[in-house]
Structure 1
Amino acid sequence: MLKSSVKTTTLIVASSILALSSFACSSNDNDTANLTDATIASPVASPTPAASPTPKPQPQASPSPEPTASTDSNTYGHAMDIATGAITIGKSAVSRDDWSLVASQWQQAINLLKSIPASDSNYATAQEKLPLYQRFMAEAKTKAAPPPEKPKEGDTEPDYFSVPIKKRQGQIPVIDVAFNGKQKFEMLFDTGASSTLVTSSIAATLGLKAIEVRAVGIADGSIVALPIALLESIEIDGRLKRKVKVAVAPPAMPIGLLGQDFYVGYDVTIKENIIEFRRR
């Protein structure tokens, strides 16, 4: 009976030890599994490679500047500005001082154009403009020059003479003109008119007879047939005593007009109070 009890007790103790051992083993396995799982779930991060130092920019040799063609475009533009100024001043020039300034402006423009080198893109244009500018300067210098000596009495075609302007009509000068050595009449001096016209009243006073009929352009642009008469002489201030054919204007025309056919061979400068004539 005692033996059976001892055996039973021993068996129970053994079973307990076995169960404990089994529990321990199971715990160790679970811990191992948990450790393994943790290791797999959270892998050890590999060390971050150290950042390579930013390479310092190596100084690069500046490229040699490409040679550029020599240019004086500013010089050309400056010359054009001065030439424009000369034209502007010339449009309103009256006195000799005005024309002297115009001549000076042209001279400056010419000097600038001459300084432009052959390598400049404007060189050819500058060379083309030079003769024109030189002519403009010469004309301005002529108008700026003091008048020559007064022509001798009786010299009807001197190198230079001037006539006074009595008044202006629509900005056009009015001067006295003598016909056939008899009588003076006021006439418009219009450099844009090619032919001389007299009024019907002048023709009647002088007893002019028509020698032909000619189609003539008048101020309003129309063409009209007008009688043509011959004047034995037309003169201004005793100068340019010439025989000229004149057209007789319609009665509606109140004042005659002295045309270019009267002062052929002369250059004319209209100033504030006088008109100057210079032989070409």
Structure 2
Amino acid sequence: MNTQIGLEPVKGLIVLGMAVGIVACGRSPVEGSDPPTPEVPQAIVSPSPSPSAAPSPVVQDQKTLQRALDKAYGAASIAQSAASPGDWQLVTRQWQQVIALLQHISPQSPHYALAQQKINEYQKNLTYAQNQSQNASPAPAPTPQIIAVKPVTPVQPVRRRPYSAQPGSIQTPIKRREGGTPVIDVVFNQTQSFEMIVDTGATGVVITQKMAQSLNIPLIGSAKMDTASAKGVTVPIGLVESIAVKSLVVQNLPVVIAGSQLDIGLLGHDFFGDYDLIIRQDQIVFQPR
């Protein structure tokens, strides 16, 4: 799927692999000239009613639809790197929750037709995830059959040499795994550290709304993107002063600010594109090409 994004004034390319594709283009500010006024993205949900009044059914259905679309975005992101049965079981639960949310939208709602359309689409995603969960299960070991007993010359075990990182390589520990995918600590703007999923299938960097608020990220534009959950979804684009893993630092990097359902950021090729990744049991090695 392809998504075109207008980005001003920072040049960047942001694509969420397999589930989300974002094509970004723009011009960097010319030295000595004033940068253009950033375009502030418009909210994609209607304003909330006043505290004194209960939300109308239409507003409530719209919020439910938005929650479902955000959660579908998260399910598609997890599916990018799913490999084990546990990974696909997590994806299956995510799609089940998305469909359950859409089924709560009233038939009288103006969003009902779209909700039914998405239920049909997501049911296919759910079926696929369920099949992958079964297919990814390890096959039982075959029962050994002894055809003949013959003397066997002992074979000396192969001794593996300990791994030695190349000069210039950067090693960082894996804190834990999210759905089988490594999670590491990443420092933003030289001040705050956040856990991030190292997503080799994502082209760009995606941060959560809480991260954007904590870092006070300035908005520089917006993007319309097509995802597995919806078409033409508007998301804000922010500018991060620096992102660092140990001594690997990238400055002035545009990032996607995800919906409220995403609770952990994704670290993509915009950050480590000049390095080869070696994912070991307890650490990730960024090796220069």
Richer in helix (by share) = 1
Tell me if TM exceeds 0.5: no
Q: Which has the larger radius of gyration?
A: 1
Q: TM-score, normalised by structure 1?
A: 0.43
Q: TM-score, normalised by structure 2?
A: 0.42
Structure number with greater CO (CA < 8 Å, separation at least 6) is 2
